[in-house]
A = this chain, B = another copy of it.
């Protein structure tokens, strides 16, 4: 059955005018008399005319699509960022094409190729964990396709990016623990070639130094940020001659692992050991005690990155200096790091 879609020329024929006139009337372009415009719009509505995007795209060289490459789309952080991206993009009349790199730089390269191939008008990328170089983005630059990186970036390259102030996040988390009176604070650190984990650690160290405390290498455990790593790491910390009295974990998952071990050992949180995580995962309000964490404003990051991309697309050709937007994280204090009498101070309703 499949009714043939009405095309611009169909309208033109029925109205005895030229297709170009119809096109201009529909786009409110050049000066077309109001009478003609009205006739065109009326018939368009009657026939249920829908512009053919591919034809328009072909002609204009634009597709009205934005491409997004994320390490994976499940999980709290990226799904929320993508939510923000989709919302902003669709408001601006753009579609969103989503690819997952699966934390694999090879996939990432393919994804980028794929998106260029699909002729997206702009690209948003958060790097995979295994990405250590930038070659595969050269083509993007050569094709002059605007690109904005978010959250995970490679340092030393001048690119447009929206990132979180992870250093401030690490600093605030640690400072909070210090303010609460904890003195020997351990840190679960992630892969240091990723800006985000490096900065969280730097913020941690900065807070310690500012407080006149030494940075004890023994208390910094590098791992992959899985829950299991938190379990192993915590056992390791507890086996130290002088165990810490608090842990600042660069991920809520490792913090959850820690919590589990501590409970098993009959240790009280936060009395015997305080915990602060990072990311403000959904479950951080569901643990017992509730987990203090750093909120990343994921959705805002999606919006921000999209806005930046759209702006750069508008400026095409003018090539301003790459811009960095830095978002501020927020400390969500909860029971896992608060001394007894205090309650949850910053309750962020989602």
Contact = CB atoms under 8 A, between A and B. Distances in A.
Interface in A73-106: 73-76, 78-80, 82-83, 86-87, 90, 95-100
Interface string A19-34: 0000000000000000
Contacts of A72: 83
A96 B95 CA distance: 10
Interface in A16-65: 50-55, 57-58, 63, 65
A270 to B, nearest CB: 15
B86 A52 contact: no
A259 to B, nearest CB: 8
A215 interface: no
Q: So how many copies of this chain end up in the complex?
A: 2
Contacts of A83: 72-74, 100
A224 interface: no
Give the interface centre of A73, A96, A281 by most chain B CB atoms within 10 Å: A73
A142 interface: yes
A160 to B, nearest CB: 17
A193 to B, nearest CB: 25
A118 interface: yes
Given A50-B116, A96-B98, A82 B86 contact: no
A209 to B, nearest CB: 33
A13 interface: no
Contacts of A100: 83, 86-87
A314 interface: no
Contacts of A87: 100
A86 B99 contact: yes
A216 interface: no
A97 B99 contact: no
A63 to B, nearest CB: 6
Given A72-B83, A75-B79, A54 B57 contact: yes
A338 to B, nearest CB: 17
Contacts of A288: 263, 287-288
Interface in A308-350: none
A286 interface: yes
Nearest to A282: B283
A234 to B, nearest CB: 15
A240 interface: no
A309 B74 CA distance: 22
Given A74-B76, A74-B79, 19 more contacts: A1-B144, A2-B144, A51-B117, A52-B119, A53-B117, A54-B119, A55-B58, A65-B97, A73-B83, A74-B80, A79-B79, A82-B98, A86-B99, A95-B97, A98-B98, A263-B288, A281-B283, A282-B282, A287-B288
Interface of A: 1-3, 5, 50-55, 57-58, 63, 65, 72-76, 78-80, 82-83, 86-87, 90, 95-100, 114, 116-119, 142-144, 256, 260, 263, 281-283, 286-288, 299
29 contacts: A2-B143, A5-B143, A52-B58, A52-B119, A54-B54, A54-B57, A54-B63, A54-B119, A55-B58, A65-B97, A73-B79, A73-B82, A73-B83, A74-B76, A74-B79, A74-B80, A74-B82, A74-B299, A75-B79, A79-B79, A86-B98, A87-B100, A95-B97, A98-B98, A263-B288, A282-B282, A283-B287, A287-B287, A287-B288
